[in-house]
Structure formats: structure tokens, C-alpha cells
Copies of this chain bind each other. A is one copy, B any other.
């Protein structure tokens, strides 16, 4: 095997542990410097490849690369940019080949979710369909937890832990206040299509917390929801509501898009949480508080799940090892061997079976009334939030790394990105 350089890029929404995968890729490539030359990272994802805006990761110290493991976000920048099919986006694929040729790139590691798996799959076909030899391996990442075959997706476990811990803490708070003040706490969480993240809030039930969940999988039934909230408050004195940003009415309209308008009559982009909180107040009269976690949940490296960090790293490492074994067009996966004790190992899946397949939350994970999670769901979730993996701190704040991100000298004419 002749020595080739590698390309690595981060794609889509970033997470608390996508840099841990980057760390796994780069550290492993460095261990095999007899077979892999430089690792070039795309600045802002695949755009960096198209624009020939490559980052020379060799310029980063071992210490800086190691620090990626405990640094949230995308250290090289990410992007929301989807390549279409080989035919429709032929110009872009030809440009990728030009850039790969110019920089002697033989390995393509793409770190992302469903859309990126599809792009990676197409790149993996360049060899066969366009005669350019490149091994493309997809490193899974998505807080949405919706990639198929793999038991779970890096990024999700840490969000799940963050939401479970935050819901627990805020529930203790509202419980303290409920006698004379707040009786309802509403937290809005990510997950436009699937309720994986919302489900994590349900884990606090095992701590005696009354919780009602609004899943995107379940059409919103206002009457049943209000009755459930009233019942919990009458029984416990308070209730916590976890609402997915994707919760919607039977007609498909999101709760968050309730036709809210500002003083000038402009449609206002609000959240689902204030809508739900105001709805409860109006119908039941309970005083409320609400929070919208948004980026805080997916960036919360300070509270990352240890199993999530370990898997993110292991999947990055496995991507390189599989490449060195000659693999192409695959995604390393997490294979669960046992939930209690939690035992997992790395497997692999062909990208042809990953691309364009969305894994939904099984309906048997949601209780019959539609507002809670089942024992099977808890058994699935608990292992994913196991363990803590704190970043180092300096002066009271996490000591996260910002890389130099030195540019590799360009060799090609500019490319016009549409």
C-alpha cells in the first residue's frame, strides 16, 4: 500500500463529542504514519474540500489534538451543505477529485449524520464510477440518534445525560417552590423528527419526579395533556414537562408555530415551551417556569457521558483502522452486547445500507398514554449516559482548545461554490 494523505471533515450540527472522533481519527493516523501521510481537515466541512481550503493538522501539537477529546463543537468548523447525486452534482465531485489528486488524498473520513452518510457513500463510489481511487469511511455523529444499524450515535448520549440531569435539577427546584409559587416547569429539547432526546427527560421518573413528555411521534392531544398535568400536580404538588421542539398538532403544525405575532403583527419564532406553559396557565391556573436548552444541550461537554466520549473516540479510531485494512464505503458502528452490565464493541455497516435510512424511535419505547417512556426505553437509555468525563478547568472555566487551523497551500485555481 502506497502512503496517501487523508481528508477529514465535520458536517452538520456539531456536538459535545464530535471533536473526540476527530481526536480518534488524527491520533490513530499519526500512529500509522508509515501508511498515512498528513491528515488534512476541511475548513467548515466539505466546503473546505471544494474550496481547497484545507487545514494542516500536522501543524497541531500532540497536546492540542489530545485536547480535542474534551472540547465540544467542531474544531475545524462544520457546514450545512449537501452534495446531490453523482449526476446532479458532477461538477462538485470532479472538483473533489481534483483536490484529492492535488493533495495526494486517498482516504476520506466524513464525520456526520444522515445527509453526510449519503455524501460519504457517493464519494465511496468515485473509485468505481469516476475512476478515482479513494476509500471513504463515514464516522457517525448526530444528537438525533437516527442513523441505522449502529446501536446509538455519538453525541446523543451526552445530550441525553444533559437533559436528564437538567430535568432532574429543575424538578428538585420546582418541587421546593411548589407550595406557594411555581408548580409547573417546562423544558424544551431538540429533536424535530424523533423523540430520543425528549425520552431522556423521562429517566427522572425513577427518582420520583412526576414528568410528562411531548414527543414528535405522538400527535398533540391538548385535553389529554392538560388532564395528565392536572393529575400529576394534584398527586405530587408539581409537574415537569419535557417538550420536543418537534411536538405538533394533529394537522402537523408545530406547537412552536402557534401563529404567535409581535406587536407589529410579524410572525414570531418562539419556542414550544412558552406555548405549552401558557396553555397550562390558562387552563389550570398553575404558575410556571420554562426553559429552552437549545445549543446548551448539544455543546455541554462539561457534562458529557463517559460512554459517549469513549465511543466517539473509538469510532474515529476504527474508521482509520478499517481504512488501513482496505475497507471502503462503510461506517463503523456501536454494537451493544449487553445493557447491564453495559458491554459494547465496534462493528461496521455498509454505507449502502446507511445512506438515506432514518432510524425512528420504536413505538414500544413510548407508554400507551403517549406521555412517558417504557422500561425497555430506560434499559436502552441508561447505558448511554453512564459515567462522567470532565474536561480540565483553568481559572474556573473548562480549558477547551482552539486549534491554529493553519491553511495548506493551495495548488489549484479557485472554485466557484454556488
B-contacting residues of A (Cβ < 8 Å)?
A: 10, 13-14, 16, 44-45, 47, 71-75, 77-81, 161, 164-166, 168-170, 172-181, 185, 187, 203-204, 207-208, 258-263, 266, 268-271, 273-275, 277-278, 282, 289-296, 298-303, 305, 382, 385-388, 390, 393, 395-398, 400, 402
Contact = CB atoms under 8 A, between A and B. Distances in A.
B269 A262 contact: no
Given A208-B402, A274-B268, A173 B295 contact: yes
A169 B300 contact: yes
Contacts of A208: 402
A74 B78 CA distance: 42
Most buried by B among A179, A261, A293: A179
Given A270-B270, A296-B166, A382-B396, A176 B73 contact: yes
Contact of A295 (B170, B300, B400, B402): B170
Contacts of A294: 170, 289-291
A269 B278 contact: yes
Contacts of A16: 169
B269 A397 contact: no
A386 B45 CA distance: 36
Nearest to A170: B295
A412 to B, nearest CB: 20
Contacts of A170: 294-296, 299
A164 B396 contact: yes
Contacts of A80: 177, 180-181
A251 to B, nearest CB: 13
B396 A295 contact: no
Nearest to A287: B80
Nearest to A71: B172
Contacts of A180: 44-45, 47, 79-81
B14 A177 contact: yes
B172 A72 contact: yes
Contacts of A79: 179-181
Contacts of A395: 382, 386
Contact of A302 (B169, B207, B273, B277): B169
A164 B175 CA distance: 26
Contacts of A207: 397, 400, 402
A277 B76 CA distance: 26
Contacts of A174: 295
A292 B168 CA distance: 17
Contact of A268 (B47, B172, B260): B260
A275 B396 CA distance: 31
B161 A396 contact: yes
Contact of A299 (B172, B263, B296): B172
